Chains A and B, each alone.
Chain A
Amino acid sequence: MTGSDAPLIEVEGLEAWYGKRRILSGVDFRVEPGEIRVIMGGSGSGKSTLLRHILGLHRPSRGSIRVFGTDITRASARELQAVRKRLGVSFQGGALLTSLSVGDNVALPLREHHAELDENQIRIMSRMKLEVVNLGGFHDLMPSQLSGGMVKRAALARAIVMDPRLLFFDEPSAGLDPVVSAELDELILRLRDALRMTIVVVTHELESAFKIADTITILDQGQVLMTDTVDAVRRSDNERIQDLLNRRPREVVVDADAYLRRLTEEDA
């Protein structure tokens, strides 16, 4: 099922709703082993929602999501757990546990899933990962003592401490200055080359997307506009994609009926 050529992620016909609002409709999405896939789209395009569904944090209204060949929409708690042990996630704000030091944060997955390791092994393994992200020697600090870029790198260290095959990165450059975000891009490329991870990055930063991506999926208003290589995306003649690439403001087409309905209906 998880042979070297089978896709690591296979999403088919995914549909997601928040209350009455449809966030994703008919999304198909595949990620092959070894690639860096960037999911791009403007705010509200549904890219974070797609990521949360792939991580099993939301149940979809319709469609299937297979990660490592396991359909996580139907998986038992134990199967989902097995899938999650093989992937790493770096959240947008880092999501380091504020009550633990940086070192303990990085060591947390090891402590929870590898009871057979002793403290020395855990310490060495987690410090090695901190070295990978250039945070060697910072293990005793608390997350609140780190800068924004350091928090993201520490979160990355925690995400890769179990050597996952699949790494997710939510908005690596959000809120960082250009130099730090360029460093993070380099780090992502290095991880793929050195540790041969498959990496899925969610971002709205064009520059960083073009720099790190092998393939790009562009989401717009809950639908996949295209999935292709960086060059193909650049050459695309789709108007919405060119709007996104050239930072042109959207032309909002007003639907008169819907507009009136929104203004007048009580529970629209």
Chain B
Amino acid sequence: MAVAQALAALGRGTLQSLAGVGYAGMLLLESLWFAVAGWRGGQPVRPAAIVAEMRRIGVDALPIVSLLALTIGIMLGIQFIAAMKEFGAQSQVVIAVAKSVTREFGALITAILVAGRSGSALAARIGSMTVSQEVDALAVIGIEPVRYLVAPALIAMLLMLPVLTVFADAVAILGAALYSAPQLGVTVQAYLLQTMSLLSPGDLWQGIGKSAVFAVLITLIGCSTGFSVSGGAEGVGRATTRAVVLSICYIIIADMIFSFFLNR
């Protein structure tokens, strides 16, 4: 009996998560369809809505992204110098920081931050709109909720997360330079120039490519948890938490998978 119950619970859980993935996939396809062909069916994705989302997701996040990227950069500088000192290879700090920031940390830190800021905001906004019947109201006015709420967020996220990532890369490397250059006995300028000569476009593209995937994950998880809210204000709170936790989990797992395939 207990085994049967456990199996049933496992089956239900599997079905639910499969349904969740399917729902998110449908949101993705619908958003892309509206973005490309929506204007033909009277459901255009408005540029103004995309720009507003870009400001909320991207521009408003600049201060906090700068702060964290700078801190991470300094931290990496400290760690690498300490670790490399043991082999007397401090000068390798430049390449270690450059590669790890552009390939990994820039994209990861930015994505986690945006998941916390904007993924939760999307879930909360769509969740409270679902609870107060605003989503229903949009539908009966003849505005597809996916077109109005999801598509602009998805496009804005796809545009802004890579931009934020490149920005975070630059700030993090600057942070590392501020700490490491004096330790290495070179100027900050020389450190940065050396970084530039060591980096290849491929390094940057790796981070940018990942950030596009993270953008899709954050938007879809935020929106789908928002739409599935039930149970009033408490449900909205739960959905917000769930959106952040799920997004960060998926981001880290996706990051690992990408790193594995891109760096073999």
Residues of A within 8 A of B (CB): 52, 55-57, 77-78, 81, 84-85, 87, 89, 91-93, 95-99, 108-109, 112-113, 158
Contacts and interface: CB of A to CB of B under 8 A. Distances in A.
A98 B127 CA distance: 13
A113 B42 contact: yes
Contacts of B63: none
B142 A95 contact: no
Contacts of B133: 91-93, 95
Contact of A81 (B42, B129, B137): B42
A243 B143 CA distance: 41
B136 A112 contact: no
B199 interface: no
Contacts of B139: 55-57, 84
B52 to A, nearest CB: 10
B132 A89 contact: no
Contact of B142 (A81, A91, A96): A81
Contacts of A77: 41, 144
Nearest to B137: A95
Contacts of A158: 141
Nearest to B5: A266
B223 to A, nearest CB: 16
B42 A91 contact: no
B132 A84 contact: no
A89 B134 contact: no
20 contacts: A55-B139, A56-B140, A57-B136, A81-B142, A84-B139, A84-B142, A89-B137, A89-B140, A92-B133, A93-B133, A95-B132, A95-B133, A96-B134, A97-B129, A97-B134, A97-B137, A98-B128, A98-B134, A108-B141, A108-B143
Interface of B: 41-42, 125, 128-129, 132-134, 136-144
Given A78-B41, A81-B42, A112 B134 contact: no
**10 closest residue pairs by CB, A with B:** A95-B137, A95-B133, A84-B142, A89-B140, A91-B133, A109-B141, A95-B134, A85-B142, A81-B142, A55-B140
Interface of B is mostly: helix
Contacts, number: 55
B140 A84 contact: yes
Contacts of A112: 141-143
A113 B41 CA distance: 11
Given A78-B41, A81-B42, A113-B42, A91 B141 contact: no
Contacts of B140: 55-57, 84, 87, 89
Given A78-B41, A113-B42, A91 B136 contact: yes
A84 B136 contact: no
Contacts of B143: 108, 112
A77 to B, nearest CB: 8
A166 B98 CA distance: 64
Contacts of A78: 41
A108 B138 CA distance: 9
Contacts of A98: 128-129, 132, 134
A167 B133 CA distance: 17
A95 B130 CA distance: 10
Nearest to A83: B142
Contact of B141 (A52, A84, A93): A84
Contact of A113 (B128, B129, B136, B142): B142
Nearest to B52: A99
Contacts of A97: 129, 134, 137-138
Contacts of B144: 77
A95 B41 contact: no
A237 B258 CA distance: 73
Contacts of A84: 139-142
A109 B125 CA distance: 21
Contacts of A108: 141, 143
Nearest to A78: B41
Task: Among B128, B134, B143, find the residue whose CB has the most chain A CB atoms closer than 10 A.
Answer: B134
A95 B136 contact: yes
B127 to A, nearest CB: 13
Given A93-B133, A98-B132, 9 more contacts: A52-B136, A81-B42, A81-B142, A84-B141, A91-B137, A95-B134, A97-B134, A108-B143, A112-B142
B215 to A, nearest CB: 22
A57 B134 CA distance: 12
Contacts of A96: 134, 137
